[in-house]
């Protein structure tokens, strides 16, 4: 069984196929964390060291035992007010305004299957998975406060999920000032924290920071997971590499404000924790009410970052993403935005579709500008009525015309937003998050609708249905182009609830859309990659990776994204050159090689391209359709880093090792330079592989030892790319 309880030692142990996680109820009911690492047997209650540490305080029952303090014992769910002066997971304030609680073990239960969370996304188990759930209840008798810790175990993935439910089982109001979902305490170790910071147009570029006696905080208080940080944390041995060293991952299944922390204490112990942000958060619970802390996905690798990512990829791809499109190859699309911006009409779109059909594109997406009086970004968000004068007819007629060409039809919406210059805002100004008496802070000339209110969610859902019901819409690009700054709901008594309730409202709308349109492909977007997280992937199986489509910048963005998210989730397109953001010129072949590592599509005006380029695009699409199942379902390896190496290389390998795609982009060229070698991984030892395009046969072990030399064809220009499709023979 994955979960066991030892009556003698009071140890709760969770086993996956290759890892063990262990905690213990001690003699006064405190829940101590003992171990998370490679699979082992036995009780590790010898791990916590108990001796006098001077000023560290003890619980009342242990006043005579100077060797007992929660300030240095490793804990499973540390709280403020129990003597642990490190960063807690829970801070509460009682009806008298006093801070502090003291949680003790009450009971535990073990259930078959994986738990679910009310109103929130969570990892799910398949019918054939041997998943189990551990529920541990802790209680503060003074407050009548109960916290249920939930552990969902998917043994074959080496994944353990954690969430928490805070319940007010007392008689007076309490206020939750901080709640995080998971922590790991390590009694020793020299660690680095790998986080994924960035900005709009350069999201999720890895950063490695030594963990010292100084708190490393990775957070967003912006109402979304943000461009600037990502709710994915990796704690690794300081010398860990792709293929060596211990590493632990925490990935938050949530799309709003979050906070992750890593710090070493005064005794050389390290704590890693992740959960909701406590900034702009203050959540009251009346008697009988509860608050659910969203899920954190945890996994461990004893052999480096490569395996850690494989565990996360399988979990996200197969147990977070859902529905019709989870395992299907996505259609090759072309988006109208970089081709036309707001300047289009129905005839122009149909001609665009005809050119797209000619080269093998399967889906036309009409981006911003098709509705109301929307000819710039200053107006009309919230008024999702078709501008029939601009389109030259109804939306149904446009969809039919595109379908007649032989393409599927997709459309862009930004349902969470409203323009001041709109009929919706004039009718319901209180539906926007605006502080009374304060001029609102505008982003892209728009405000955010208050999705913490059910009636606003109902209106958003009805307007989406009003668009999608006009014809066979195959794809919806769901955008979100500004941050939440003015936090005030006109119906909320406690504004500290709003950001959390907003995200739950967003999820409720997305769930209803998925239920009503089960075959609709929804791509998430937030100014590109500003809300790229496992929470959104539960509802949208792919997310636009970044508004920056420059192929070289995308190498950094997609490299960082790959640490926690599979290729099947990454929206990636070929765009025009010079690139509109960077001004860089890269070969069409390189732009395609980079985009082929994601869901693949185009962002350019086909009618401006010469015949030779159109022919090349047709070949690119044929190639992509050949490799797409491997890209989407294959095991992904980072073969080199764009942050450190002159060549950025990556590989997708079929799970049985029978097929591998090796891709590389040369980022640096120097006169009379040294040759570059790309060394694959994950091939079948002892086998031979044929290069499907060149006919060369390689020995697998030699390839994984020495690698493939990239041709030194300097006349080809900068940023050359290479692909090798290796078939086992």
Q: Give the catalytic positions in this structure.
A: 479, 547
Residues 6+ apart with CB under 8 A from 142: 101, 102
State whether residue 729 is helix, strand or coil: coil
Beta bridge partners of 109: 135
Tokens 């199942």 found at: 629
Reported as type and span, the H/E element at residue 662 is strand 659-666
- The answer to whether residues 95 and 104 touch, using CB atoms and an 8 Å cutoff, is no
Cis preceding-peptide flag for 578 (omega within 30 of 0): yes
Going by C-alpha positions, the residue among 712, 726, 714 that lies closest to residue 684 is 726
Torsion of CA 78, 79, 85, 91, to 10 degrees: 140
Chain centroid, CA 403 distance in Å: 33
* DSSP codes of every residue in 458-510: HHHHHHHHHHHTTTTEEEEEE---S---S---TT-S-GGGHHHHHHHHHHHHH
Token pair recorded at residue 682: 């994950």
574-575 vs 446-448, strand pairing mode: unpaired
Residues 6+ apart with CB under 8 A from 481: 414, 417, 443, 444, 446, 526, 527
Token pair recorded at residue 422: 């709109």
Chain centroid, CA 727 distance in Å: 32
State whether residue 268 is helix, strand or coil: coil
Reported as type and span, the H/E element at residue 615 is helix 611-633
Q: Measured between alpha carbons, how far is 266 from 149 in angstroms, rounded to an integer?
A: 28
- The answer to whether residues 234 and 563 touch, using CB atoms and an 8 Å cutoff, is yes
């Amino acid at each position: 069984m994955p979960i066991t309880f030892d009556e003698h030692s009071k140890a709760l142990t969770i086993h996956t196929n290759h890892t063990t996680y262990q905690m213990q109820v001690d003699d006064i009911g405190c829940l101590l964390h003992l171990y998370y690492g490679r699979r082992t047997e036995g009780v590790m209650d010898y791990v916590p060291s108990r001796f006098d540490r001077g000023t560290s305080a003890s619980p009342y029952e242990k006043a005579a035992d100077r060797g007992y303090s929660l300030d240095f014992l490793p804990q499973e769910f540390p709280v403020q007010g129990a003597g642990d002066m490190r960063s807690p997971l829970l801070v509460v304030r009682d009806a008298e305004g006093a801070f502090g609680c003291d949680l003790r073990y009450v009971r535990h239960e073990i259930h078959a299957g994986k738990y679910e969370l009310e109103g929130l996304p969570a990892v799910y188990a398949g019918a054939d998975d041997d998943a189990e759930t551990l529920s541990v209840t802790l209680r503060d008798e003074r407050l009548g406060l109960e916290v249920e810790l939930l552990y969902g175990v998917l043994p074959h993935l080496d994944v353990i999920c954690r969430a928490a439910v805070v319940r007010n089982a007392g008689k007076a109001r309490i206020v939750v000032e901080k709640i995080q979902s998971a922590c790991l305490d390590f009694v020793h170790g020299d660690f680095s924290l790998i986080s994924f910071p960035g900005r709009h147009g350069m999201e999720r570029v890895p950063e490695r920071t030594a963990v010292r006696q100084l708190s490393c905080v990775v957070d967003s208080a912006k109402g979304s997971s943000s461009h600037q940080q990502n709710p994915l944390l990796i704690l690794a041995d300081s010398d860990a590499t792709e293929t060596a060293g211990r590493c632990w991952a925490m990935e938050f299944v949530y799309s709003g404000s979050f906070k992750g922390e890593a710090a070493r204490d005064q005794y050389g112990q390290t704590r890693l924790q992740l959960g909701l942000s406590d900034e702009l958060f203050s959540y009251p619970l009346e008697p009988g009410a509860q608050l659910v802390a969203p899920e954190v996905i945890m996994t461990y690798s004893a052999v480096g970052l490569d395996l850690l990512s494989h565990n996360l990829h399988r979990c996200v791809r197969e147990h977070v993403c859902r529905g019709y499109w989870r395992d299907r190859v996505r259609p090759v699309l072309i988006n109208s935005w970089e081709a036309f911006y707001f300047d289009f009409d129905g005839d122009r779109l149909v001609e665009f579709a005809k050119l797209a059909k000619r080269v093998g594109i399967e889906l036309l997406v009409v981006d911003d500008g098709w509705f109301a009086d929307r000819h710039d970004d200053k107006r009309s968000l919230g008024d999702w009525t078709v501008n029939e004068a601009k389109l030259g007819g109804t939306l149904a007629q446009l969809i039919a015309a595109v379908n007649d060409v032989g393409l599927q039809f997709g459309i862009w919406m930004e349902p969470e937003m409203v323009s001041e210059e709109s009929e919706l805002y004039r009718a319901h100004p209180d539906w926007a998050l605006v502080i009374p008496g304060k001029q609102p802070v505008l982003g892209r000339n728009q405000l955010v609708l208050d999705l913490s209110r059910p009636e606003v969610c109902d209106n958003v859902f009805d307007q989406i249905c009003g668009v999608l019901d006009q014809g066979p819409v195959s794809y919806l690009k769901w955008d979100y182009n500004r941050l939440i700054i003015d936090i005030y709901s006109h119906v909320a008594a406690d504004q500290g609830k709003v950001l959390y309730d907003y995200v739950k409202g967003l999820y409720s709308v997305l769930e209803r859309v998925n239920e009503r349109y089960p075959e609709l492909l929804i791509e998430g977007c937030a100014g590109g990659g500003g809300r790229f997280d496992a929470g959104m992937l539960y509802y949208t199986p792919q997310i636009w990776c970044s508004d920056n489509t420059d192929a070289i910048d995308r190498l950094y963005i997609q490299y960082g994204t790959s640490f926690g998210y599979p290729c099947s989730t990454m929206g990636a397109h070929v765009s025009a050159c010079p690139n509109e953001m960077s001004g860089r010129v890269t070969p069409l072949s390189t732009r395609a090689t980079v985009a082929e590592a994601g869901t693949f599509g185009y962002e350019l005006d086909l009618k401006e391209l010469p015949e030779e380029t159109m022919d090349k695009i047709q070949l690119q699409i044929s190639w992509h359709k050949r490799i797409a199942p491997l890209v989407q379902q294959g095991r992904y390896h980072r073969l080199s880093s764009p942050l450190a190496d002159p060549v950025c290389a990556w590989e997708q390998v079929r799970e049985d090792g029978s097929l591998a795609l090796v891709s590389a982009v040369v980022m640096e060229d120097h006169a009379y330079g040294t040759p570059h070698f790309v060394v694959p991984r994950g091939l079948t030892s002892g086998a031979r592989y044929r290069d499907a395009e060149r006919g060369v046969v390689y020995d697998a072990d030699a390839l994984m030892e020495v690698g493939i030399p990239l041709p030194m064809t300097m006349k080809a220009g900068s940023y050359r790319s290479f692909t090798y499709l290796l078939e086992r023979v």
